[in-house]
């Protein structure tokens, strides 16, 4: 199975901060990488697909980059509604696997 | 409007069975692979199973293989997850999602406890 390692597991940031979350795959997954945002009690919401494509309706403050084994989700200017948990997911091969998550909290 | 609505969750004893349903609307259901993903309380997301558009191909996570069965009825626009021999570690919110991962259901809570 492909292991997805996210870091950090949590972070504290202020409104307007630039935030970067990384995700590393245990083997190359090309650009078969999705990023999700999840708020408590809600289903995950797709933010980025194919490593760098912004899902329709998602603010342009979110961006993704990377290929192969190393990927990054960047929030260019943190907004109040961005405090949530974030997950990466590889869709390269079965079993599909998710990173352990990053919780973004208010500083 | 695309909608996925799960139902069938609840409390079940260890060793028991439960069937989750996911009712789809707003898109051509038969054109899409569908997935089940679960999330134990306070934990991360875990992929469970997938099925292709006509139901002829399925895959499962090792942790549920042989105990869970995914199926679908395209005439009813419904996806199911039959869960047998349930264990405490199967306790989770179960989500259905379509293959593009752009739409998810609201989740169904399954609690396995005596």
Q: Could you tell me what percent of chain A has a pLDDT over 90?
A: 98
pLDDT tens for each residue of A65-81: 999 999 999 999 999 99
Q: Which residues of B touch A46 (CB under 8 A)?
A: 100-102
pLDDT tens for each residue of B15-55: 999 999 999 999 999 999 999 999 999 999 999 999 999 99
3-state secondary structure of A29: coil
Compute the distance between CA of residue B86 and CA of residue B2 in angstroms, rounded to an integer: 31
Closest residue to A100, CB basis, from B44, B59, B62: B44
How open is the CA angle A29-A32-A38, to the nearest 5 degrees?
120
Q: Which residues of A touch B61 (CB under 8 A)?
A: 95
Long-range contacts of A60-63 (CB under 8 A, 24+ apart): A62/A35
Cis status, amide bond into A95, omega within 30 of 0 = yes
């Amino acid at each position: 199975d492909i292991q997805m390692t996210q870091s950090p597991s949590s972070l504290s940031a202020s409104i307007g901060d630039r935030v970067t979350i990384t995700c590393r795959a245990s083997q190359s997954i090309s650009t078969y990488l999705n990023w999700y945002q999840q708020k408590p009690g809600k289903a995950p919401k797709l933010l980025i697909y194919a490593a760098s494509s912004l899902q329709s309706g998602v603010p342009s403050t979110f961006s993704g980059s990377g290929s192969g084994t190393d990927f990054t989700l960047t929030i260019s200017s943190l907004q109040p509604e961005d405090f949530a948990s974030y997950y990466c997911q590889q869709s390269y091969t079965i079993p599909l696997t998710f990173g352990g998550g990053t919780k973004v909290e208010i500083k | 409007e695309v909608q996925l609505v799960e139902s069938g969750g609840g409390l079940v004893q260890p060793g028991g069975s439960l069937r989750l349903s996911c009712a789809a609307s707003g898109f051509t259901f038969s054109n899409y692979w569908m997935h089940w993903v679960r999330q134990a309380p306070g934990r991360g997301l875990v992929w469970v199973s997938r099925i292709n558009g006509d139901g002829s191909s399925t895959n499962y996570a090792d942790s549920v293989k042989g105990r869970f069965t995914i199926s679908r009825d395209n005439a009813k626009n419904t996806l199911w997850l039959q869960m047998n021999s349930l264990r405490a570690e199967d306790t989770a919110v179960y989500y259905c999602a379509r293959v593009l991962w752009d739409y998810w259901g609201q989740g169904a809570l399954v609690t396995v406890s005596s």
